[in-house]
Structure 1
């Protein structure tokens, strides 16, 4: 192959090439135009590739028919057409057969079958992957969040119809993804980032309006009903209501960000009523109360005492959790106003920790942005993720010294008891917001594959204390529970380091800690250790399923041992939880997180992302040999089982709670199963072609089939998303059995659910999509934006799987 000369947009045309046809006139200002033939291109690499055809000519001839091509990838696609009807390639003759080298063998590993699925067959020179992509699994929407005239009109509808029951069907406001004819374009569009759409999204003034009319009356009715339901559920724990002064404070904060008098007038006349705003607040508080990592102290929460920034943040979070796009846009507009307000307060005061409400608002705004599903909100939230982390670190909130022990005596009464209670819950509030940021940091790291911002080594603060104490309504009740639960507890509360050194410390302190929160903290730390292992494996080119790394040398023994230690640690924790019995039950979220971590230990998500085109066609080809080797190993069966268990616990989520990080965990599990099905189908196709060729050439005796462990359970069906048992152990250790996964249960009968084999990628990804959709169908709720984006992504993958 001749080396290509440096390419520039002004490269001189080759005099030997004969130009045909009429030159196309380039419009004035066109950025990438060929000086020879005046062809226009939207990307510089497309122009550079085109100029090569002028300067170098078609220098890659076909060894069969002699037709020449300008690029090697076009030649490879062309040679695929030189096949008989039985699928075997025509025999090469002469020097062509002798010149088949190692490079061709490597490309051959990316089978013809996969080329037909993952790439279009058109010999076009204008398609390529967009390298400027977001991290893996960052599926974002670029829909404008501006309020339009119809939205302002619906605000009045909201104020007048608060008590209306839901009697209309939810409308889906999301635009359907474009029907992409060729799969290569389809796979590329999944990961590509359209810079123009990203740059023009209105962020500075979300109260502006130039959008089309949007009819969401039915969704609005459903959202009003949901607000009433949330208020009733929360009433037993928190019954305070928003005061008129609170609404005025939020309105004033929002009006401060309006740029002109017309906008001020429009916002003032259509701003939600006091009752509607109170519904938004209770909708969010009901959701936050159910979170394991909640950090708002409900027994002492007085809405009238909160800063307008805090109240506006809670209103925004509640509005975004509704199913009506108009109300969601209102929530995001309020979020933008609060973000500007807090930034100004920080600039003037310089210390956000002077008021707990400001720090809580900052963390909640980040939570809202990170899991919003909108690109601009995600980028804005991610850009200042380190802010609360740095603030808490600078105030020594990661140190044990910031949380001295509070002594409680039986004779403590009156003001003394009130002061001790206040000291305790203030310190516990700081502790819980630290660990909330830590858990969220781990979740975002899993989502993006980036390094966590918080290190487990620096968290020396005590673990959260029992939730019964945290929810005590009065100082007297707190004292009674404290003396009952913590009377015999040692003064030194265990920290995260104690837990990681010996997990049995948790068993010895079950009564003295918030066990559910502590489990989430422990699993977040295990992710940090797994991520460190994955980074080292990536540097060394090592894989847990191979004795040799990607460079061909022996794998690092230390990495292999580390992999075994991490998996043993998680298995020990799982067995330890079984020993706790009904005394401490792990939630579906925690079980889902546990199996997701174990799945990450048995599959390289980076390889899967590259195989999907996240990085270009060449990286896709490089990832296939590794995934093929993985699919034939015990590691693949382990990964499939943990992925299926992740789906199992996803089906246990209460209605309308499969959102935020958990929908990403569901998608990662489904993606692992889907890739396994694609790769195994490609391998089987290649084996069938190879066997057919051997039979025709008469060399069948020299072939050596892969040995298979015999057994009478080879055809026994087993459900990977079911209970652990003997059949599962036979499958994991010897590969015996026919694995299946199930979709969501239909009604109350699990037997009525859809069943799919991991070897069928389309059915499997459809089952995963149904699990997501079924979590919202019963309540007639519209999917959250992030969940909707992933649902559309799975529809893309289903179309890919249909080609198998």
Structure 2
């Protein structure tokens, strides 16, 4: 060791070549080449220097104090045999690999800290273990699911604190195909098949439906006959091993009736009820007169003005205790079931902050009658200043402040008029900044057993953290919806949500600490990390690599995919390369489309599996005498709540609401929805008027899309037809629980109208056919949807309905009738656009009603 003229100390170890400016750094570095033997007794991490072991143990102590788990960046370990290995040994179950780490930060390749130098001194690649080995069995270590990401993968200081943008290295990690992500098992015994052929055939990316379905009509959708339209799924089914097929045959054979103990265990199995409560008999929070007085006191300070200009009368029956209780019940049965934000079991109205309580009641009142809805909007208009003037509002507010702001924004965006919608957008960025400052996007709720505190305290601590995590994730969901569907700016990135997905519904709705502990034990594994699942959908063609998620987690994953698509579209529009390597503009769009299809297939199978499971449980209760339908007796606990947990109407609302969102995501990938709105005659977009130049530009864009990009246009029209076909099979057309569904119907109608009206009529169809009066709009609409469903995709752009451009009139009229029942100002603006597309003389007003 010597110091040459360049004033740097060089390592003399053969093949190393490292140099340092200080001699003590070189001395410490030389120990890396020695045969040091220092091992952590807790996690078996192996070090060659004692100072590194001491620092590692100190991190353990710090994490213990914070109630977390340590995620070390070590790449050497000592296994149970005393051998030094490059893979972390499992301390619980053998053969279970670690989860992949987070995507690297923007400067992860150029970090020059001493710790990173020491790692590179050993010739180790920091990304060596970012992914699971494909040879591992399809299981993962649940003990590591909730571990936060290593600090070497945190973004740079600027993006961490005030510029949470996505970087090229994020996308390089997300789309890296060199090594597949960890296998995240489906954990289902049935084969991986969807319940319907609702996964779209994509132009140039997937074969046409005529070549993939079992009939000539490639778009045939049959819920009773299961077919796949994606070659990947057919390959999965065709390459199944004989052992797997045999196992399936054995699983479908009738088994001996279980004992009472077995039946009780089956009855206690975790079930789900998307967009609803597991048990209708759940005890909802109760308001008392004291809580009402606190609410009235706050309303007196707010001094809301009624629509007629008068002051609010506090003796109004709409403000009675019974009315307020009904609003509270509606919140927890209508809104909180769709967007589970507030933990019902620990919510105490008597202890809640009055502003939060008012925000909850207002959102519930929007689901009551029209007069209560109108009252809620009037109070909403004066509530936001009161939030900002509250002492609890600061740069790092408490959970209740964030919940109040989010609920206020939800009402303004999706349950009020255009003015409230625009105002909510103005304050949307502020809410996201507060969420970042409060670390909600990285919150994690640990359900692991601990003896350091009593059960009730652990339950309430867990509920607080779970609500923080869900707050960020639900805010992200709404941010993505308004960015993708309404063409607003995307404010949150999926890469910010470095937290696990939400817990199971049974764990969330446990009504007591004891029930919570039982549900946690039945959940078995902690929810996986969102980014790990997101990467699996984008890079893994095999369904066995994707996680078995619950309904809420699946919705969040779909929105994460939509956010990636939106961000990459905008990057393309600014002529920036998104990712390195072979991922071109066309290929990433194909990848996104296939990822959407994979999500839809998994969701269809999930719904089929859950409904089959609950049906089997119901039949088993009858066969074993737990429930006697002839005598009408109540089944004993713990199976008493199972009947209420079974989906009474199946999963119809969930399928329609989020199946439509899947199709809408595909539409937004294939077309520019803003141009479709302007071409259809929208007079205001994003809060500003549409000019003649705007219309001229959008007209050119849409006509070029419909004529020159006919494959994309046909695919978008097909997805739109699927949305409207599903809605037409419902009596009311719209899913009341879903805030996005009415707007999706509007976009689907515009897409179909633009598809037919932006193209010239074929030679064999005269314009005179457009003047025929429509006597039965519903029948005419179903004929159009059937035409689009049965026509092969490659023929859809050239095969017209007999009614020509007149084919969309009935469809538009029926959708207008559906939307007229929605109390949302933005939807009524959309209705005005649709009404402009209808020639009223062509609709028979005196015949059958729409």
TM-score bucket (shorter structure): 0.5 to 0.7
1:335 aligns with 2:380: yes
1:494 aligns with 2:528: yes
Counterpart CA distance in 2 for 1:459 and 1:723 is 43
TM superposition shift of 1:758: 6.9
Partner of 2:3: none
Counterpart CA distance in 2 for 1:734 and 1:237 is 53
Counterpart CA distance in 1 for 2:794 and 2:782 is 14
> For each residue in 1:160-212, what CA deviation from the matched residue of structure 2 results, as whole angstroms up to 9, or x when unmatched?
xxxxxxxxxxxxxxxxxxxxxxxxxxxxxxxxxxxxxxxxxxxxxxxxxxxxx
Any stretches of 5+ residues in structure 2 without a counterpart?
1-274, 611-650, 684-689, 768-780, 844-850
Q: Which has the higher contact order (CA 8 A, sep 6+)?
A: 2
TM superposition shift of 1:302: 1.9
Q: Judge conservation of contact 1:298–1:471 (CA < 8 Å) in 2.
A: yes
TM superposition shift of 1:435: 0.7
Counterpart CA distance in 2 for 1:756 and 1:783 is 33
Match of 2:722 among 631, 635, 645: 645
TM superposition shift of 1:651: 4.0
TM superposition shift of 1:305: 1.5
TM superposition shift of 1:442: 0.7
Match of 1:247 among 262, 284, 292: 292
Q: Judge conservation of contact 1:253–1:341 (CA < 8 Å) in 2.
A: no
- Aligned counterparts, 1:28-427, within 5 A: 236-258=281-303, 267-270=313-316, 272-291=319-338, 293-324=339-370, 326-346=371-391, 350=394, 353-354=397-398, 356-399=399-442, 402-403=443-444, 405-408=446-449, 416-427=454-465
Counterpart CA distance in 2 for 1:800 and 1:563 is 40
1:733 aligns with 2:794: yes
Q: Judge conservation of contact 2:533–2:547 (CA < 8 Å) in 1.
A: no
How has the CA–CA distance of structure 1 residues 368 and 756 changed in structure 2, closer, same or farther, with 3 Å as cutoff? Answer: farther
> For each residue in 1:395-428, what CA deviation from the matched residue of structure 2 results, as whole angstroms up to 9, or x when unmatched?
22222xx42633227xx79x72222222222211
Partner of 1:21: none
Partner of 2:835: 795
Partner of 2:218: none
SS in 1 for 2:599: helix
SS in 2 for 1:465: coil
Match of 1:466 among 504, 508, 514: 504
- Under a length normalisation based on structure 2, what TM-score does the superposition of the two structures give? 0.52
TM superposition shift of 1:390: 1.1
RMSD across aligned positions (CA): 4.0
- Aligned counterparts, 1:420-435, within 5 A: 420-435=458-473
Q: Judge conservation of contact 1:589–1:662 (CA < 8 Å) in 2.
A: yes
- Under a length normalisation based on structure 1, what TM-score does the superposition of the two structures give? 0.55
Counterpart CA distance in 2 for 1:264 and 1:251 is 17
Counterpart CA distance in 2 for 1:264 and 1:673 is 45
TM superposition shift of 1:231: 14
> For each residue in 1:16-51, what CA deviation from the matched residue of structure 2 results, as whole angstroms up to 9, or x when unmatched?
xxxxxxxxxxxxxxxxxxxxxxxxxxxxxxxxxxxx
Counterpart CA distance in 1 for 2:696 and 2:576 is 16
Counterpart CA distance in 2 for 1:266 and 1:735 is 57
Counterpart CA distance in 2 for 1:386 and 1:798 is 38
How has the CA–CA distance of structure 1 residues 641 and 236 changed in structure 2, closer, same or farther, with 3 Å as cutoff? Answer: same
How has the CA–CA distance of structure 1 residues 320 and 594 changed in structure 2, closer, same or farther, with 3 Å as cutoff? Answer: same
TM superposition shift of 1:610: 4.0
Partner of 1:535: 570
Counterpart CA distance in 2 for 1:425 and 1:506 is 32
Any stretches of 5+ residues in structure 1 without a counterpart?
1-229, 543-555, 690-716, 741-754, 777-781
Counterpart CA distance in 1 for 2:513 and 2:543 is 27
Partner of 2:513: 475
TM superposition shift of 1:278: 1.4
TM superposition shift of 1:686: 13
Partner of 2:749: 670
Partner of 1:524: 559
TM superposition shift of 1:251: 0.8
> For each residue in 1:268-289, what CA deviation from the matched residue of structure 2 results, as whole angstroms up to 9, or x when unmatched?
4447221122122222222123
Counterpart CA distance in 1 for 2:512 and 2:786 is 44
Q: Judge conservation of contact 2:484–2:668 (CA < 8 Å) in 1.
A: no
Match of 1:636 among 683, 690, 713: 713
- Aligned counterparts, 1:500-515, within 5 A: 500-503=534-537, 513=549, 515=550
Tell me which protein shows more helix as a share of its residues: 1
How has the CA–CA distance of structure 1 residues 242 and 404 changed in structure 2, closer, same or farther, with 3 Å as cutoff? Answer: closer
